[in-house]
Amino acid sequence: MGRPLFYEIVEKPATSCIIGICSAIWFYIQKRNIGYSHVGLSYENAIEGHHWRIITSAFSHISAIHLVFNMSALWSLGVVEQLGHIGLGVAYYLHHTLVLAVLSGALVLGMYHLLIQRFKIEYFRRVTAVGYSCVVFGWMTILAVKQPSSKLDLFGFLSLPISFAPFESLIFTSIIVPQASFLGHLSGIVVGYAIAWGLIHGMNNYWAISMLGWIVVVFVVSLKRSGAYDFKFLEIESVTDPSLPSVRFLGSGRTLQMSSLPVEGVEIV
């Protein structure tokens, strides 16, 4: 007989919180009848300034089976939180979950850009990706490098050697679920290897909090500028250079100017 669920939750606090957040968002999406096009990430949306979708697309799921598959894999991968003795642990998990969510989303957009601009494949202009799989595939890859003897358990009865899980799952989901985002999953694997091999390193509490702060700023500003949500306390106006947005917090009289770099079917991830 297995251990009580309560003890598992205590040993995987970050994983449990993320599963709770994704489940709550799924319930809200179902309750409000929100479609993938409202929260998903596409190249067309990104160039229109909907940068907030990098975050909403990662934590949103449209179907129950999509949610269950991703959260089942994530629960198994939560073992990372218990591996502090090999340099992983809760802090490592939280820091690099943030990196995986942002960089895998950005990498997907970069791949779309290359395919559209260089190879003229217009199909990828409006493909909309949604789901947490890019982060899940990232953690599969990190665990495959750091702890190759581990197993990936799915649905409580299917067990895969973690060393083969990233590419096995990439091929399996592409065959079984035609709508699965091959590029989204591949981006998670690429960023996962970059983290596991030390190409992306140096994350600590300071950098994680700084990164989170900038994510919140960009999230709020892009929501406001794209017209997706109207923050009454926030005004955005141009200062000297119309290409550089500025943010004014009403009532404080302070203005923050930010630099802006130009960025030139449904897929579930």
Q: Is 42 left (phi over 0), alpha (psi -120 to 50) or beta?
A: beta
In angstroms, the CA 221 to CA 223 distance is 5
Tokens standing for 108?
């997907």
In angstroms, the CA 168 to CA 160 distance is 9
Report how far Cα 202 is from the mean position of its chain's Cα atoms.
20
Looking from the CA of 126 toward its CB, the CA atoms found within 13 Å total 4
3-state secondary structure of 50: coil
**Burial readout 224-260 (b: 16 or more C-beta within 10 A, e: otherwise):** bbeebeeeeeeeeeeeeeeeebbbbeeeeeeeeeeee
Q: Is 146 exposed, middle or buried (0-12, 13-18, 19+ CB in 10 A)?
A: middle
Give the catalytic positions in this structure: 133, 185
247 contacts 236 by C-beta, under 8 angstroms: yes
